[in-house]
Amino acid sequence: MAVVEKTQYKGFQIKVVVDDEPCNPTQEYDNLGHIALYGHEYNFGDENGLTQSDIEAIESNPELISLPIYAYIHSGMTINTTGFSCPWDSGQIGVVYVSKEQIRQEYSRKRITEKCINFVENQLQSEIEILDRYLTGRVYGYQIINKTGNKIIDSCYGFFCPSEDVKSEAKAIVDNIVKTEKIEKIKKFEALSQIPLPY
């Protein structure tokens, strides 16, 4: 695993690493949105190989809440729902959508208000941001190395968030380890102090 950052913290070493085998969020997460993509060039959608008219039908359907999916392709691919400034290497490749009926069932709502639509659109956008992290290899993990530097004592992977957040999570684990060590030392001292002195 490629190391993104090394940090010394309270005697321990924290490594933030790239997760080489992250789970595919479109397959393993219970996402709200359904991804539909143009053509057969892309295979990470729930529906692939759609035509332009198929996508337009989804976007114009009043019973669906949808956002466009744009891609920028240049030595790799990154996606978002807002578009890219480059007119040559970017463009719309599909949509992410959810039915209003599903929203009613999912959130026990009778009416779909503007506030509800905004909430759903933010959720769809967040799901595309997570998928983008998967596609661009920005999924991380941490490893905590013991004080002698020869053993991984804790690790966790699959963080779809900035590496700084992963480091903060690892620091919280170290804080807990240090706290536990202190408690164990106190207990040991208290136990020893209760041993009667020999005469």
Query: Each residue's pLDDT tens digit in the chain (199 positions)?
Result: 899 999 999 999 999 999 999 999 988 889 999 999 998 788 888 999 999 999 999 999 999 999 999 999 988 899 999 999 988 899 999 999 999 999 999 999 899 999 999 999 999 999 999 999 999 999 999 999 999 999 999 999 999 999 999 999 999 999 999 999 888 878 777 676 665 656 5
Give 169: exposed, middle or buried? Use CB within 10 Å, 0-12, 13-18, 19+.
middle
Helix, strand or coil for residue 42? coil
pTM, whole model, 2 decimals?
A: 0.86
Retrieve residue 92's tokens: 């719309």
Tell me how far apart the alpha carbons of residues 154 and 151 are, in angstroms, rounded to a whole number. Answer: 9
Give 140: exposed, middle or buried? Use CB within 10 Å, 0-12, 13-18, 19+.
buried
User: DSSP strand E in the chain: where?
Assistant: 3-9, 12-18, 34-38, 47-50, 64-73, 77-80, 90-99, 140-145, 152-159
Tell me how far apart the alpha carbons of residues 87 and 157 are, in angstroms, rounded to a whole number. Answer: 36
